[in-house]
Amino acid sequence: MTQKSPISGFDYVIPKPDAETIRKSIVYKMIFILGVDPKDATEHQWLNAAMLAARDLIAEDFLRTRRAHIDNSKRMVYYLSMEFLLGRAFVNALINEGVYAEFEKAFKALGKEFADVCEQEEDPGLGNGGLGRLAACFLDSLATLRIPAMGYGIRYQYGMFKQEIVDGQQVEKPDLWLDQDLSWQFARPNKQYSVGFGGQVINFGDRKEWTPGEEVSAWAYDEIIPGYGGEVANPLRLWTAHAGNLFDLADFNRGDYSSAVRAQNSDENISRVLYPNDSTDSGKELRLKQEYFLVSASVQDIVARHKCRFSDIRTLADEVAIHLNDTHPVLAIPELMRILIDEEGLAWTEAWNICCKVFSYTNHTLMSEALETWPVDLMGRLLPRHLDIIFEINAYFLNALRAIGSFDDDFVSRVSIIDETHGRRVRMGWLAVIGSHKVNGVAKIHSDLMVNTIFADFAKVFPERFTNVTNGVTPRRWINIANPPLTAFLDKHLGKGKKNDWRMHLDNLTKLNELVDDAAVQTEFGEVKKAAKVRLAKYIETELGISVNPDALFDIQIKRIHEYKRQALNVMHIVDRYNKILENPDADWQPRVFIFAGKAASAYYMAKKIIRLINDVAKVINNDERIRDLIKVVFIPNYSVSLAQIIIPAADLHEQISLAGTEASGTSNMKFALNGAVCMGTLDGANVEILEKVGAEHCYIFGNTVEQVEAIRRKGYDPMSYIEKDSDLRRVVNQISHGTFSPEEPNRYGDVLQPYGDFYQLMADFRSYIDTQYKADAHYRDAAAWRKSALVNIANMGFFSSDRSIADYCRDIWYIKPLTAKELPSSN
Ligand code: 26Q
């Protein structure tokens, strides 16, 4: 079929998306692009060929979208993030393009098992956890909602490490995801920017010029993000570091090849590896270089794109919004200032006014140890001109404050970007607040705490600046791809017409509320859930050789391993249940399978110990015949987006048990509820809003509130007082601390429960947690009642679509409008 091009004079042939044309296209790619004889092709080569065939479809959408942005002078948002945890691209592209069934048929005709081919794809692990996955859900929603948008990130050569469990302990293996390079991303060799470090700042009268001592080249690769519905696709531009001018020709000509190459290697380290989210690693020079590398390349690109489209740099704030995903890319603020002042010749205040309109910032944590700061010395050495600019921003801000007259010196030093109390450090969060026009938290409770705690002083200065956008997740990946039986169930009961497709209008799930008491619908949903549990049970059997009963209650906690998330509290419940079953073996126990997954940062001692504890407890309990499968404990290694897609649909109960006030939002809570699991959670993060939507009968809430946690801390928290008055708790603490689960090394877990510190107040919440768990058991025994609760959860999750989050950002923060049908030329 000849396609009329949106660019006149450039008509072209695109494959019709029917199974036969697709089959031919795949074979064509195999022969002419990959140069492989289809008769000899491996599964992996079939995947590569199929991905190239799929890419033709999204590339076309992308070019049409881009042309529409240019022709209609659309205001654009650029989303800067150090992490994008995309998950597999292939099936996602097929579903969003609406060609999944055709590809499946094409593979049938080729005599290949389609599912096996799809399984060949590596997850690009370019993120740690929630923050990176949120960025990926947002890209999906931005394209689906036709928002003129582009993401910027780093194309790490090594993503998140692969986790193996050896003798119960985490072992990290490198993740060389690019070795599987499929050429799925478009290399853009014409998009290169030089990123400088070090060197000097020279004054020319009132003008300054930075001469970097070292330059690294940033090369662009575009990953195309297709929106659902196959109309719009936006780019995610990922930068890779290449040795710039530094390949030392002098060394080379002298015959000193290895010195020349060494310099090249050290520069290319910048995009070598993703840093784990680990406070002990903060302050690493290479991380600061990475942050500036992302920011400098991206801001240069944004400015170049703007000048190309509008010619006048002074209109930048009218046409462009730049969003900072946490403080990690906040150097974008001084970088844009530098470009506007030093390169474009704007006056300081003019440049500053542009910056404050362009930037907005999302905060993802309140925990003070996780707030980014950098030593002034290090910043001055790597980025001397930026440090100058930061000082100037600070002086400008503090002078304005002093001029108001109502702020004392103490207040002024608290809001200064430079922290003088810990050996002079740049507070990145402060810079983000001062340089942005909006600052948002990621769940209601988190946004409220943000203005009452870390940013309380700033909220007095800029009350209108702070706002909330509750996180969301994309139903395309988290239902349609992850849970085909639930997808069929929803299509059957809600319809699939364009107007009311729940994939695009997740609020339409509320219609399920009319069906939650219908016995036939409940039974049908029971089958949907069972199918997911059987699938997970098979995975566990094949991968770990552990057999679990799909009729047991599946109780799941999957997320990064961190003390504040309190996986250890979950373990304490398991041990307590174990004790009680042994004490009273003939009681009518509800069988449960406890499932964990998650990675610990490689240098995080306590988190790694918690993984080992889970595995030690699993070993003892799973092998204790007296337990008769009433408890099974499973730690599934190497948690990833793809694994989450298998695990989440199978949950009956999901554990969201962070100490109140510590989890900014959580997003797996939303994915679980959307897949019909019931929450066991504290009043923390988005749990609070989930409870609001589904009602207290369909959600198990326990533990102290933020106010109670605070009150306990103020009084002086005494974990021993809880241990003394609760014999169950005492027994559990003793067993874990004194070797019941590590007889070969009784002291192994002597430091895990910290009875004298217990910063995250496990002891204080233990009793309420245990009691609530038994309420959930009783509920689960009434299959109809439980299925109703699961359905109520699904029915009321519409709010937690990332489409709603993105609509909030567009309306309240970015002031961006979608492409209209008229502005977007259609593909047929
Ligand atoms: C910082 C400096 C040096 C090295 C690493 C880091 C770093 C990297 C990743 C710091 C933090 C992160 C990731 C944070 C994160 O994932 N936060 C989560 O964000 C989710 C999306 O908003 C929330 O739902 C979670 O509550 C929050 O923990």
Q: Domain of 77: which CATH number?
A: 3.40.50.2000
pLDDT of residue 250: 63
Output the CA 816–ligand 1 centroid distance in Å.
Answer: 26
pLDDT of residue 178: 82
Contacts of 562 (CB under 8 A, 6+ apart): 600, 604, 607
Does 4 fall in a domain? no
> 444 and 334: one domain?
yes
Picking from 655, 674, 677, the residue whose alpha carbon sits closest to that of residue 478 is 674
> 651 and 561: one domain?
yes
Query: What number of H helices and E strands is found in the chain?
Result: 32, 24
pLDDT of residue 181: 62
What residue owns the CA closest to ligand 1's atom 6? Answer: 277
Looking at the CA of residue 446, tell me the nearest atom of ligand 1.
Answer: 26
Does 38 fall in a domain? no
How would you classify residue 326: left for phi > 0, otherwise alpha for psi between -120 and 50, otherwise beta?
A: left
Contacts of 747 (CB under 8 A, 6+ apart): 738, 739
> 238 and 373: one domain?
yes
Of residues 248 and 445, the one with the higher pLDDT is 445
Task: Determine the residue of 365, 471, 687, 760 to mutate for testing ligand 1's pocket, defined as the one with the most ligand atoms within 8 A of the Cβ atom.
Answer: 365
Picking from 21, 20, 29, the residue whose alpha carbon sits closest to that of residue 47 is 29
Select the highest-mean-pLDDT range: 4-8, 35-39, 824-828.
35-39
- Exposure letters 508-543 (e unless 16+ CB within 10 A, then b): bbbbbeebbeeeebbebbbebbebbbebbbeebeee
What residue owns the CA closest to ligand 1's atom 10? Answer: 277
What residue owns the CA closest to ligand 1's atom 24? Answer: 666
Does 668 fall in a domain? yes
Q: What is the mean pLDDT of residues 488-496?
A: 96
pLDDT tens, 416-471? 999 999 889 999 999 999 999 999 999 999 999 999 999 999 999 999 999 999 99
Domain final position from 446, 470, 494: 470
Does 813 fall in a domain? no
Output the CA 395–ligand 1 centroid distance in Å.
Answer: 30
Lowest mean pLDDT among 178-187, 245-254, 363-372, 759-768: 245-254
Task: Determine the residue of 81, 85, 134, 277 to mutate for testing ligand 1's pocket, defined as the one with the most ligand atoms within 8 A of the Cβ atom.
Answer: 277
- Exposure letters 432-465 (e unless 16+ CB within 10 A, then b): bbbbbbbbbbbbbbbbebbbeebbebbbebbeeb
Looking at the CA of residue 442, tell me the nearest atom of ligand 1.
Answer: 22
Q: What is the mean pLDDT of residues 474-494?
A: 98
Output the CA 818–ligand 1 centroid distance in Å.
Answer: 29
Task: Give the Cα separation of 632 and 113 in Å (integer).
Answer: 33
Ligand 1 site: residues with CB under 6 angstroms?
A: 128-131, 134, 275, 277, 281-282, 287, 364-365, 372, 442, 471, 663-667, 685
Q: What is the mean pLDDT of the chain?
A: 94
CA–centroid distance for 597 within its chain: 16
216: three-class secondary structure by DSSP:
strand
> 649 and 710: one domain?
yes
> 335 and 439: one domain?
yes
What residue owns the CA closest to ligand 1's atom 25? Answer: 666
pLDDT tens, 176-204? 888 766 679 999 999 899 999 999 999 98
Output the CA 529–ligand 1 centroid distance in Å.
Answer: 31
Output the CA 279–ligand 1 centroid distance in Å.
Answer: 10
> 390 and 499: one domain?
no
What residue owns the CA closest to ligand 1's atom 15? Answer: 131
Task: Give the Cα separation of 634 and 611 in Å (integer).
Answer: 11
> 603 and 624: one domain?
yes
Q: What would the two tokens of residue 232 be? A: 């719009």
Give kind and range of the element (H or E) at residue 42: none
pLDDT of residue 496: 85
Domain final position from 454, 470, 486: 470
Segments forming the whole domain that contains residue 482? 478-800
pLDDT of residue 749: 97
Output the CA 57–ligand 1 centroid distance in Å.
Answer: 34
> 670 and 554: one domain?
yes
Q: What is the mean pLDDT of residues 268-275?
A: 91
Please work out, in degrees rounded to the nearest 5, the angle formed at the alpha carbon of residue 212 by the alpha carbons of 210 and 215.
140
Output the CA 131–ligand 1 centroid distance in Å.
Answer: 5
Q: How confident is the model at residue 9 (pLDDT cuts 50, 70, 90)?
A: confident
What is the domain count for the chain? 2
pLDDT at 280 over 60: no
Does 571 fall in a domain? yes
Picking from 555, 570, 560, 554, the residue whose alpha carbon sits closest to that of residue 765 is 570
Q: What is the mean pLDDT of residues 355-365?
A: 98
pLDDT tens, 574-631? 999 999 999 999 999 999 999 999 999 999 999 999 999 999 999 999 999 999 999 9
Domain final position from 409, 441, 470: 470
Does 40 fall in a domain? no
> 405 and 525: one domain?
no
> 490 and 454: one domain?
no
For the chain, give the percent of residues with pLDDT over 90: 88
Task: Give the Cα separation of 437 and 455 in Å (integer).
Answer: 14
Looking at the CA of residue 471, tell me the nearest atom of ligand 1.
Answer: 22
Does 522 fall in a domain? yes
> 690 and 552: one domain?
yes
Lowest mean pLDDT among 152-166, 746-760, 793-807: 746-760
Looking at the CA of residue 132, tell me the nearest atom of ligand 1.
Answer: 16
Output the CA 365–ligand 1 centroid distance in Å.
Answer: 7
- What are the catalytic residues? 364, 559-560, 565, 667, 671
> 464 and 524: one domain?
no
Task: Determine the residue of 85, 131, 604 to mutate for testing ligand 1's pocket, defined as the one with the most ligand atoms within 8 A of the Cβ atom.
Answer: 131
Does 93 fall in a domain? no
What residue owns the CA closest to ligand 1's atom 19? Answer: 131
